Chains A and B, each alone.
Chain A
Amino acid sequence: MEADIRWLDNPEVFRVGALDAHSDHRFYINEDEAQKGTSSLVQSLNGMWKFHYSENAPSRPADFYKEGFDSTGFDEIKVPCHIEMAGYDKIHYINTMYPWEGHFYRRPAHSLNGTKQWEGMFSKASCNPVGSYLKEFDLESGLMGKRVSICFEGVEQAMYLWLNGHFVGYGEDSFTPITFDLTPYIRERGNLLAVEVHKRSTAAFLEDQDFFRFFGIFRNVSLMGLPRMHVEDIWAKPVLSEDGIGNFGLQLKLSMPKGSVGRAEVSLENPKGECLLKRDMLLPGNVKAAPQGAFADNKAAVREEVPCGTAEEVPAMDKKGENKENTDEFLKISCKLDGVSVGRVTPWDNHNPYLYRLTVRLYDENDALIEVVPYPTGFCRVEMIDKVICLNGRRLILNGVNRHEWSPEQGRCIGMKEMEQDMQIFLKNNINAVRTCHYPDQIPWYEMCDKNGIYVMAECNLESHGSWQKMGAIEPSWNIPGDLPEWKEVLMDRARNNFETFKNHVSILFWSLGNESFAGENLVAMYRYFKEKNDGRLVHYEGVFNNRAYEDRISDVESCMYATPDEVRAYLSNEPKKPYLLCEYMHDMGNSLGGMDSYMKLLDEFEMYHGGFIWDYIDQAIMVKDQVTGKKVLRYGGDFDDRPSDYEFSGNGIVFADRTEKPAMQEVRYYYGLYR
């Protein structure tokens, strides 16, 4: 297949050649690497790349991916980083308005009964910047001889990928990892990777978040060598019963060479190293083919041979059918461990974020260890009891904040340091919940929430408020995604990416469909997708507030933003259908956060009130050197000649952009401590 620039304009093309979204597990070749958490199977491609900036697609160097292309005129750029922050395109902050407001007239494809022109909207636009990235690399030794895939953890907003002149794939969902198989084209030395990133595509209609509008490769890029037996996906299913007994099940997707045999060992240990469960699954599910010695060293009391479910033969990494000479044929296997009792367990919650250690080990036919996959897991139970949300049988109280990923120097391109600081600030100030507004965060953040007992509302990458909210009024005549069938699959993709990537995080209590996207059949489909996963979590969406026709079809909870305490009281005093939470409240813009008491009292007044998420955690402002004084100063919307803008409206944090606490934080700490 060849890349097509018109995909930018077509909402039905959003993912080409990418591997299925899968769990965010790490994998190692042996116990030692697993212990240390450093894998010789992973090769980071972060660093300096060759780069060329173009104002629009027609003027981009379209052949740049070809081997032999003369890239001597290219600049260099750091990966990851936003292209604007590297000084190319203009930095721009805008809230609900689409970023082209006043510059281009646009209506989404197929809206308004398809009466509006959309072909070429992005691919032929006079201004739609393009970043052409080139990276030369040799494989590190740990990856040699293995299948190799590449993971982009975040590329905003549409990307095309080539390796050694061959088209590999295309993706749009800016905030979830996307993985491509490079095996057919990879070399041990002298690889040329080409990534073409477009600032806007049809995804722009779905990614109208109230933030600085950036593009580029802004999260990590890694190559991964896959051991010949490899866990493609894990779905752990820890269940906590009312009597405190744990039940543990598991679904695995594996790949292994066709014709080979082996086993998968699943174990669950508590932090003291005591084993609660050990199971062997024979691979590829053919028990007769398993060597007799395969279980010789398995001393687990609960040892049991579990035949695999299905084994499905697929050629290595599907599609294309060219350059297969270096790849074997692989089997993809799905296997399932039905839930078994593991006895009394310690429940996970904010007060005691007790984690168990799940480990999956793959052994080959000689019982040699091929791959180790550790994953922290925990037992908790989310349920509705008399319309009250309960966690482990106790009413859930959300002392939460909405958190954007932010650094004043790097924008949304943050690292471990910022995440660790944020977690320390959460813990210090009694914050027990976070909504990942309005896109999935980097993977380590969810791991930290698991470890520290922070309840997560895991939101999909979706916000389209500019399509139905104009100057504060509701005007949904061309609302996206609405009911348009051509926009359904792209939403399902975003839901799937969010679910599949993060499904194993015990800290996630809610899936959230997105933010401020009104309500329609496409959101119903997203809701159903999550409900059908039947994973015990609740599904949240606020937008039904503005379209009550969907009240019973989209959200498990009644969620509002910025309702006054009296409005909350009114809902909860009039035969409420659902438990209530505020997905955004206490708008902490500038010197604010007055009157928190009135919200906290609602917790005493109504069992069905569950608290909420303060808007928001951190001011979004950008550190620059002041032209006049030469000092480092913080700038906001409109300070970059960016218009239209919503100016200082991005500064609503309970911490300043540099993560120092705003004075209002002592109020948060006090009340959240009182109601912890």
Chain B
Amino acid sequence: MDCIDKVTKHLRLVFGDVTLGVHGAFQEKKFDYIFSYVTGGPESFVINGMEWLYRTPRPTFWRALTDNDRGSRFHLKSGMWLSADMFLNCVNIAVAVDGTEIPFPCAPENNKYTGDEMARILEITYTYETITQPAAKVTVSYLVNGTGETQVTVHYHGNKDLPELPVFGMRFLMPTCADRFVYEGLSGETYPDRKAGGVPGIHEVEGLPVTPYLVPQDCGMHMDTKWVKIYRSTTLDNRIRKAKPCAVRFSAGEGTFAFSCLPYTASELENATHIEELPPERRTVLCVYGAVRGVGGINSWGIDVEPEYHIDAGKDIVYSFWIS
């Protein structure tokens, strides 16, 4: 029993007043995660000394418009998702230890703890409400197990009174640019209605290429991905002169996900009329999507993407993936 406990009760929990720390080590991996109660999500994911978060990951509801989106006036119908993407309200946070929800552990509730609390599993669930009219609800739960793997489960609750979504996913901002990323999925840039030519396999991409469309727009999508591994060798930590190259891996729970890994957010891309207007590359913006709208191609002045490649905002979108 003692032996099993050591393996399973592996997480040391720090019940802070503003955050919940989750610390542990497994084999060669040391991990330190901090989940915030004020930023509405995890604030720090440190694995083997390297910080992987620049800002708290958030659900994302927007992609930079493509020329065809503009042509079909998609933005005039669905533009409210742009503001939902920029401004999001976190309305509830729930914490569960070893599968049991506990009273929200802020003071004075957390005065009972010692700092030596151990757990097998920690789950923290954030509930968001979009600023759309009407609002939509999204829950994102982070479930950390003893090996330091985190399962992220994302649930968009459909509302039939909302316009179609361009994308739905989670956006992770990493502090510095990735050197490269490797993924198992389809070759090249693929979309739901443009992926037949993608060759399945393990693909490596150097740097964070932005597809140089004349007007910057959504790009770099990779459909049907089993996992993606991001490699970085730079940090913002002033103590570290030369970081050891490290990697973080995002793997699909069941099935696959879509992702893009770019140096820019959708709104940065949206603002530029030419690629040279984009700011210097500083971050890694990884978006892990549960739903992606097609790009279309029949024409660029009115015809919509084919119906099967729309995202109906009235239906729930549920997906999950692991961070390790």
Contact = CB atoms under 8 A, between A and B. Distances in A.
A634 interface: yes
Interface in B272-300: 274-276, 294-300
A472 B67 contact: no
A664 B276 contact: no
Interface of B: 66-68, 71, 187-199, 211-215, 217-219, 274-276, 294-301, 303, 305-306, 309
A590 B298 contact: no
B295 A592 contact: yes
A592 B297 contact: yes
Given A636-B214, A662-B211, A663-B189, A591 B196 contact: no
Contact of B194 (A585, A636, A667): A667
Interface stretch (A36-44, A219-227, A625-633): A625-633
B300 A596 contact: no
Interface in A578-608: 585-598
9 contacts: A590-B66, A591-B68, A591-B217, A591-B219, A593-B297, A595-B306, A626-B276, A648-B67, A663-B211
B188 A666 contact: yes
A651 interface: yes
* The 4 residue pairs across chains A and B that have the minimum distance between CB atoms: A670-B197, A663-B189, A594-B193, A590-B67
Contact of A633 (B67, B211, B275, B298): B275
B300 A592 contact: yes
B196 A651 contact: no
B298 A671 contact: no
B297 A595 contact: yes
Interface of A: 472, 562, 564-565, 585-598, 619, 621, 626, 628-629, 631, 633-636, 639, 648-649, 651-652, 656, 662-664, 666-671
B274 A591 contact: no
Given A597-B196, A651-B214, A587 B299 contact: yes
B297 A596 contact: yes
Interface centre among B68, B190, B199, B303 (most CB of A within 10 A): B68
Nearest to B277: A628
Main secondary structure, interface of A, reads loop
Contacts of A621: 214
Contacts of A597: 193, 196
Given A593-B297, A651-B214, A664 B194 contact: yes
Contact of A591 (B67, B192, B195, B276): B67
B213 A651 contact: yes
A671 B196 contact: yes
Given A663-B189, A668-B197, A671-B197, A591 B211 contact: yes
Contacts of A648: 67, 214-215
Contacts of B197: 666-671
Interface centre among B71, B215, B300 (most CB of A within 10 A): B300
Given A590-B66, A634-B214, A595 B276 contact: no
Nearest to A633: B276
A652 B276 contact: no
Contacts of A590: 66-68, 213-215, 217, 300
B298 A595 contact: yes
Nearest to B293: A594
B294 A594 contact: yes
A664 B300 CA distance: 15
A425 to B, nearest CB: 15
B222 to A, nearest CB: 10
Contacts of B66: 590-592
Nearest to A672: B197
Contact of A656 (B71, B199, B212, B303): B212
B305 A587 contact: no
Contacts of B217: 590-591
A592 B67 contact: yes
Interface centre among B190, B274, B299 (most CB of A within 10 A): B299
Contacts of A666: 187-188, 197-199
A596 B214 contact: no
A281 B44 CA distance: 90
Contacts of B296: 592, 594-595
A663 B297 CA distance: 14
Given A619-B214, A648-B214, A594 B191 contact: yes
A621 B213 CA distance: 11
Contacts of B199: 666
Nearest to A660: B212
B190 to A, nearest CB: 8
Contacts of B211: 591, 662-663
A604 B301 CA distance: 28
Interface centre among B192, B212, B214, B274 (most CB of A within 10 A): B214
A652 B212 contact: no
B259 to A, nearest CB: 15
Given A587-B298, A595-B193, 12 more contacts: A562-B298, A586-B298, A589-B71, A591-B67, A591-B211, A592-B300, A594-B295, A596-B196, A598-B306, A621-B214, A626-B276, A651-B214
Given A589-B68, A633-B276, A648-B214, A670 B297 contact: no
A562 B197 CA distance: 22
A670 B197 CA distance: 5
B218 A591 contact: yes
Interface centre among B218, B296, B305, B309 (most CB of A within 10 A): B296
A587 to B, nearest CB: 5
Nearest to A628: B276
Contact of A631 (B188, B194, B276): B276
A594 B191 CA distance: 8
B306 A629 contact: no
Contact of A562 (B195, B212, B213, B299): B299
B295 A667 contact: no
B198 A592 contact: no
Contacts of B193: 594-595, 597
Interface centre among A562, A626, A666, A670 (most CB of B within 10 A): A666
Nearest to B190: A663
A631 B212 CA distance: 15
Contacts of B191: 591, 594
Nearest to B194: A594
Given A666-B198, A667-B197, A595 B305 contact: yes
A592 B68 contact: yes
A669 B199 CA distance: 12
A670 B196 contact: yes
A593 B295 contact: yes
A635 B275 CA distance: 10
A626 B305 CA distance: 35
A636 B215 CA distance: 9
Nearest to B274: A633
Nearest to B276: A633
Contacts of A629: 276
A586 B306 CA distance: 13
A628 B265 CA distance: 23
A652 B71 CA distance: 13
A329 to B, nearest CB: 59
Contacts of B71: 589
B136 to A, nearest CB: 26
A666 B187 CA distance: 9
A662 B197 CA distance: 13
Contacts of A565: 298
A283 to B, nearest CB: 57
B66 to A, nearest CB: 5
Contacts of A634: 212, 214, 274-275
A669 B198 CA distance: 10
B306 A594 contact: yes
Interface centre among B193, B195, B294 (most CB of A within 10 A): B193
Given A587-B297, A636-B214, A594 B309 contact: yes
A472 B218 CA distance: 27
Contacts of A636: 214
A451 B146 CA distance: 66
Nearest to B71: A589
B309 to A, nearest CB: 7
A592 B300 CA distance: 9
